[in-house]
Structure 1
């Protein structure tokens, strides 16, 4: 598989031969820890079929990762010492990385979950310091030098005090010093935060990640992405943890919940992010990230991981990837300024993107309502078609008579739709 690079305009990811790479991530934090080889094959087959390109996974897992052996009976470290990785444990990690690669997927590899360097909550214990973080980072880098890897530091934690900052920097330096230092690198922050806050201009960080999180009904992903898109210096941006499908809709302090996030929220977050300038997007499913098998779940998971693989949002995000890959890729820019007369309710506002060279514009409406659009960007008469984000199907094309402004009425079924505007052929 070809290596990944940042595009020349600093907005996208691409293969080293210049072909576009759309980061469509799935969240499988516990795959190395809780799945056996047959499970890994089953998971990889399904996610490849659904169109995912990246699987985000953690070497030192959150849920008892230093205390509970993996499915082959091995712990990741000898005596919880990051300078003494357990070869037997990492053979299963190798298998997972190779299995995903054989199906065309990259591994977004987190060397550790964040509680191992920043306790705050969770089991921990804190085992990292700047010295052993460098050693462990270099060891991983050497081991996965030739694998299709993206490095993701952090793990749902901030980096605010000097110890945490220097520990993360040391791990990044260790990775860069190893043979796999050429792989792209980012950082997974805690909820409702972004790497533009913690790491505004770190040389080791190739692209920014934010986490809008799981507080309901949903966060305004499009506003958060727009903020990070405007951050300088310019780097690609993405939401690495939006609301997970089938995750409880939590209140602000996580003391209670009101129902579960569904596929509509998944689509609203995904299209809101990408149309606002994100280079890609991560999907998550609550039973899948924790690889829930039954018994006591984390935070009210109500299905097993294998049952949850087929939830509708997991199929629908693949339609977004294929839509973006079907159009000019590297000239895409946010364009919500072309949407006129937005509603006062911010969660109902449409979001738009277009080709800077004028070959298309798209408007995503998260609710069933007509959208007024400024057509001043167009260089020729336009045709309109509607794209169904549930099925991935395009409706028939119709000519627009208007030349300066048009009101676009989506089909009656829905609620959400994508209006695709292109020069009339």
Structure 2
């Protein structure tokens, strides 16, 4: 009889003190310097419209749910995408007077203050975007473009002064790439204003549009503490999830990287419902591919939740599920299992090893990503379809323990691999098929 060893899913105790993050001395990962430089595994959820569309009761429900499921970062936007400058928030307030980023409407920002206080009390960081990207590079969306280098610097400083005592990670960009000199100047000016207020007390990064990496634009900029990429919503089995971490490390060595926006659960594939919909398996595949390829955490998203969709609102890209129902979809809890396993291991020492397997699938969405520590005391391998894996015995540490970790439930199954000549064979439970994904843990 198979016995499942379940990891604890208890919610952490409420916290009230500000938490300080920094980058480790070797530049490989984020650490919590408030808690003796404990490694901080970034687990984010995208709630872009939270500050704009949710009232305080809804916000509390959502944040408490995400805390219980293991999220420690919530990515949201002050000047929101969906007509955020012209449609009031849930309290009836607009953010700016006369569309001036330096002339704030105080009731709107008082609401942001209360959300920041609530996130602090739950030990959650707000991954706070000062603005969605259409406010400096419209390209698509509604805009309008309201930023110049001059007011962007003032706006950044004002934000930093107001929220420097909160648990905040600043995320510039907002799904846009800088495309001309003015775009670059606006982003750098906003970063300069932030840094003038916060110094090195809070982390700053950049969220590019789909298919891009922040290191393509800001590899040499000192203001950016870690890099983000967006593997996006364009295709099944997107290899950017495992290629981009390597690309970032080549372009900007010495800084951590996080996948800031992968395929969303319940999002139409390539934005067209006729192609089908990404599900929780697609979210898991993107997460495990990314993390074992070298990211310092991961961002999850549900297509209905980022836009806080509910009947009566115009659905963006065919959103179809009320967001308060979508919070119970399985993908979010499965991300918590990822975080708990990684935090129980020295994940920050892992290095991807594409040559570890003697035999295993390497195409068509079945690619098995293997990561190991330099001394081989820990090996993790993610097989999306539960395919048989074969390894030369000489590559395996002597006296190791072997277990299958179930990314759907967080359960673990200890086992002994089959010896086959000079190799060891690892055969996951059940038949190999889409969604029967497993993580091999050798320790």
- TM more than 0.5: yes
CA contact (8 A) 1:114 1:157 kept: yes
Identify which of 73, 78, 81 aligns with 2:92.
73
CA contact (8 A) 1:338 1:375 kept: no
Identify which of 311, 314, 330 aligns with 2:332.
314
Identify which of 334, 351, 367 aligns with 1:333.
351
| Pairing 1:122–2:169 present | no
Equivalent residue number for residue 395 of structure 1: 413
TM-score, scaled relative to structure 1:
0.95
CA contact (8 A) 1:194 1:211 kept: yes
| Pairing 1:305–2:323 present | yes
CA contact (8 A) 1:160 1:198 kept: no
Give the distance between the partners of 2:101 and 2:422, measured in 1 at CA. 62
Q: SS in structure 2 opposite 1:398?
A: coil
Post-superposition CA distance 1:157-188 (Å, at most 9, x none): 01120000000000000000014652111000
Equivalent residue number for residue 164 of structure 1: 183
Equivalent residue number for residue 236 of structure 1: 256
CA contact (8 A) 1:191 1:211 kept: yes
Give the distance between the partners of 2:147 and 2:393, measured in 1 at CA. 55
The CA deviation at 1:73 is 1.2
Distance 1:226-1:407 versus aligned 2 partners, 3 A rule = farther
Q: SS in structure 2 opposite 1:182?
A: coil
CA contact (8 A) 2:215 2:252 kept: no
| Pairing 1:363–2:361 present | no
CA contact (8 A) 2:284 2:335 kept: yes
Once the two structures are overlaid, the 10-residue window that deviates more, 69-78 or 167-176, is 69-78
| Pairing 1:324–2:342 present | yes
Q: SS in structure 1 opposite 2:131?
A: coil
CA contact (8 A) 1:144 1:180 kept: no
The CA deviation at 1:377 is 4.5
The CA deviation at 1:329 is 3.6
CA contact (8 A) 1:331 1:357 kept: no
User: 5 Å matches for 1:101-180?
Assistant: 101-179=120-198
Give the distance between the partners of 2:426 and 2:141, measured in 1 at CA. 49
Post-superposition CA distance 1:209-232 (Å, at most 9, x none): 000110121311112222223333
CA contact (8 A) 2:20 2:202 kept: yes
Post-superposition CA distance 1:13-58 (Å, at most 9, x none): 1111210101000000000000001001100110011100100000
The CA deviation at 1:400 is 6.5
| Pairing 1:267–2:288 present | no
The CA deviation at 1:343 is 3.0
Distance 1:11-1:375 versus aligned 2 partners, 3 A rule = farther
Identify which of 272, 292, 295 aligns with 2:309.
292
Distance 1:13-1:356 versus aligned 2 partners, 3 A rule = same
CA contact (8 A) 1:142 1:180 kept: no
CA contact (8 A) 2:119 2:167 kept: no
Gaps of 5+ in 2: 1-17
TM-score, scaled relative to structure 2:
0.91
Once the two structures are overlaid, the 10-residue window that deviates more, 304-313 or 333-342, is 333-342
Once the two structures are overlaid, the 10-residue window that deviates more, 162-171 or 220-229, is 220-229
Give the distance between the partners of 1:137 and 1:228, measured in 2 at CA. 26
For the aligned residue pairs, the C-alpha RMSD in angstroms reads 1.7
CA contact (8 A) 1:188 1:209 kept: yes
Q: SS in structure 2 opposite 1:111?
A: strand
The CA deviation at 1:335 is 2.4
Q: SS in structure 1 opposite 2:365?
A: helix
Q: SS in structure 1 opposite 2:251?
A: coil
CA contact (8 A) 2:27 2:254 kept: yes
Give the distance between the partners of 2:153 and 2:63, measured in 1 at CA. 31
Distance 1:173-1:375 versus aligned 2 partners, 3 A rule = farther
Number of corresponding residues: 419
Equivalent residue number for residue 280 of structure 1: 297
| Pairing 1:64–2:83 present | yes
CA contact (8 A) 1:383 1:400 kept: no
Give the distance between the partners of 1:208 and 1:63, measured in 2 at CA. 25
Gaps of 5+ in 1: none
Post-superposition CA distance 1:275-308 (Å, at most 9, x none): 0010000000000000012122111111111100
Post-superposition CA distance 1:336-356 (Å, at most 9, x none): 321233435252110011222
